[in-house]
Structure 1
Amino acid sequence: MSIIKKLASQTAVYGLSSIFGRFLNYLLVPLYTYYFTAAEYGVVSEFYAYAGFFSVLLLFGFETGYFRFRDKEHTGRDLAYSTALLFVVLINIGFFGLILLVNTQLSAALNYANHPEYVLCFSLILILDAVAAIPFARLRAENKALRFAGVKIIEILLTVLLSLFFIIYCPKVYATNPESWIALIYNPAIGIGYIFIANLMASAFKFLLLSPQLSGLAWGFDRVLFGRMVRYSLPMVVIGFAGIINEMLDRALLKYLLPYDVQTNMKMLGIYSACYKLSILMSLFIQAFRYAAEPFFFAYADKSDARKVYAVVLKFFVIFCVFIFLLVTLFIDFFQYFVGDEFRAGLEVVPILLMANLCLGIYINLSIWYKLTDRTLLGALVSLAGAALTIVLNLWWIPLLGYVGSAWATLACYASMAIVSYLLGQKYYPVDYQVKRILAYIGLGIGLYFAHGQLLVFITWQPWLLASTLMLLYVLITGLFEGRQTAAPNA
């Protein structure tokens, strides 16, 4: 349990910073959804969907590759770090050159011919974030969670402040005094483009804060090591790309597959994307866990009790994820106010997306089998199968069910990937996961969610009291069963 507590403490550091940072970022959701229409917010969502795909390609899997090959003894001249960093820098310089050549044609193809600055601005954000990912990976590997968290929080805080400045302050001053100094930096025609500008400025400042870590470029480039890193990391690109398909493709396809006119499709895309944000608490925890767990899994792999620890980690991970699922779904009447009234028509997808994220988290836990056994190619095949399922189900269900079909496709994909990964893991890296207990906790959470919906028909006063009672019931049941297992480990 001491190892679990250590992992939990690392997750807490990453988690608190992520929660604080994402909470600040989360405040942008009501800002965007109250100040822009659903169709305008759909434009932002579309670009972020595309960004997910490019973020994988521009990093080339070298984040995980660095964890696998980093030099633990000579950290002052870690060739794995300098090799990975130099390679990622060169890839992104080439990418920016390509964007400069095709920006006009690409903007026209995306129906943004009047705003080519959208593509240019977003490509710069992608480049800065991709290059910064390697220094961030080094901070995680060296357990410098506080510095990692500090830089992340500063970036998000700056994004929020700049967004408030450009979206609220500037239009207000410009409307009352268009001849003021604001006219030098603010143009109302840019509109939602200021969302991209705020993100770019914050990413640039983050890059500046990480400049001390960039000194590693001078440590050299090892061609032999680079070859080994490419062979290991290339399947990670496939895995990452497939993961982005599973996570982002629905928002890219809704614009084209919904059976309405373009304006209505963009409105539906905006509604779905805003409601997707309501699953943020689950995503926050999974992200924080991944930051802490990935280097932990690699570092602990040689211990005699590693597999036992991995099994316990997954169980407690699921317990906490189900808690988050209940917190959001039972108190949805509160969480709905984080999006504008126009966007609340899509609240029905929130429980589906929360459960999908839980399955994604389980898959992340289970994926240690191919990372620790260097079977990344086989892991890539699992991700590709999931991506294929996502594509097929979205093409099938979006015209029939609208954006609700996208939510169900996401759940089906992640659940399938978790099952397949578990089966393969038991063959190549068997871990004695407590499957029955894990499924029981998930079933308990779903059961309490449906019970809440039925009981609300009869208990119409103080609905928060009913939700609180069901939350407490979950905590008591899990506490009772886990207390018994601690007292009798063989039970």
Structure 2
Amino acid sequence: VNTKSAGIYSLAYSLSQIMILFNVALSQTLSPWIYQKIKDRRVADIAGVAYGALVLIAVVNLLLIAFAPEIVSIFAPRAYAKATWIVPPIAMSVFFIFAFDLFAKFEFYYERTSLIMIASVIGAVLNVALNYWLIPILGYEVAGYTTLICYVMYAVVHYWFMNRICREKLGTLPYDRKILGLITLTFLAVGFLFLGGYHSVILRYLLILITAVVGFSKRDYLMTIVNQMLRVRKPI
């Protein structure tokens, strides 16, 4: 579009991608444990920990989305304020980056690299096509949403490949589709609620307060997730 738009988008993208640090840290913690479970053919043990990890990633990304206006104002002058509106879809993409990594571990373990290549090509082609089609019509902001759409598709394709491999190699599926769907849809719904709250500071902070109350009421569950992660780090 132009250099100004590129600068605004780059700021939003950079801030959102900070959350990938949590992805990497959690993935490095889980990977040896998950591979060992696959080796031992005890994939039923993976689900509970994986769901908890997805919830943790969802929470940290929702924190970024909730406070995006303040974060953008800290890192950039007023001229970059529009970056606030691009942060939510890109932050939501980070959730799906972590999700596809959980699914792709089965592809890596069984060395089905051709499937990983196919998923990557699909995601890349879709991203270029959507950007080429939509940016001239809707503006540079839509690139955040094309990124989200592509990572959703990327995760779905890896999920399908994972199930195919698990049926073939293990005779069972590691994750419950309904639970994955519930976590994902809840995350997206809350994320878009915060995005809608950007129009009103009062509304946004009311949503933050409600979310904090719900989080406090679920503190025992959140602590259980943290304890699961700590146990996973111990030698098997």
The 1:459/1:338 distance shift into structure 2, 3 A limit, reads closer
Number of aligned residues = 218
| 2:38 pairs with 1:301 | yes
Instruction: Report % sequence identity.
Output: 23
Give the letter aligned to residue 385 of structure 1: I
- The question of whether the paired residues in 2 share the 8 Å contact of 1:329 and 1:350 is answered with yes
Aligned mates of 2:85, 2:198 — CA distance in 1: 16
Aligned mates of 1:340, 1:457 — CA distance in 2: 19
TM-score by length of structure 2 reads 0.79
| 2:204 pairs with 1:468 | no
Give unpaired runs (5+ residues) of structure 2. Answer: 168-172, 225-236
Aligned mates of 2:202, 2:146 — CA distance in 1: 33
Partner of 1:444: 186
Aligned mates of 1:322, 1:291 — CA distance in 2: 18
Instruction: Indicate the SS of the match to 2:97.
Output: helix
- The question of whether the paired residues in 1 share the 8 Å contact of 2:50 and 2:102 is answered with yes
Partner of 1:391: 128
Greater C-alpha radius of gyration: 1
The 1:458/1:369 distance shift into structure 2, 3 A limit, reads closer
Aligned mates of 1:448, 1:471 — CA distance in 2: 12
Give the letter aligned to residue 473 of structure 1: V
1:482 CA drift (Å) = 10
Which of the residues 42, 45, 52 maps onto 1:316?
52
Partner of 1:364: 101
Give the letter aligned to residue 335 of structure 1: I
Give the letter aligned to residue 44 of structure 2: K
Partner of 1:270: 7
Aligned mates of 1:312, 1:420 — CA distance in 2: 22
Give unpaired runs (5+ residues) of structure 1. Answer: 1-257, 259-264, 484-491
Give the letter aligned to residue 161 of structure 2: L
Partner of 1:327: 63
The 1:447/1:417 distance shift into structure 2, 3 A limit, reads closer
- The question of whether the paired residues in 2 share the 8 Å contact of 1:370 and 1:376 is answered with yes
Instruction: Indicate the SS of the match to 1:301.
Output: helix
Q: Which has the higher contact order (CA 8 A, sep 6+)?
A: 2
1:412 CA drift (Å) = 1.2
Partner of 1:253: none
| Deviation digits for residues 89-108 of structure 1 (CA, Å, limit 9, x no counterpart) | xxxxxxxxxxxxxxxxxxxx
1:334 CA drift (Å) = 2.2
Aligned mates of 2:101, 2:52 — CA distance in 1: 14
Give 1:400-411 correspondences, 5 Å limit. Answer: 400-411=137-148
1:424 CA drift (Å) = 1.7
Which of the residues 80, 87, 91 maps onto 1:350?
87
1:279 CA drift (Å) = 1.2
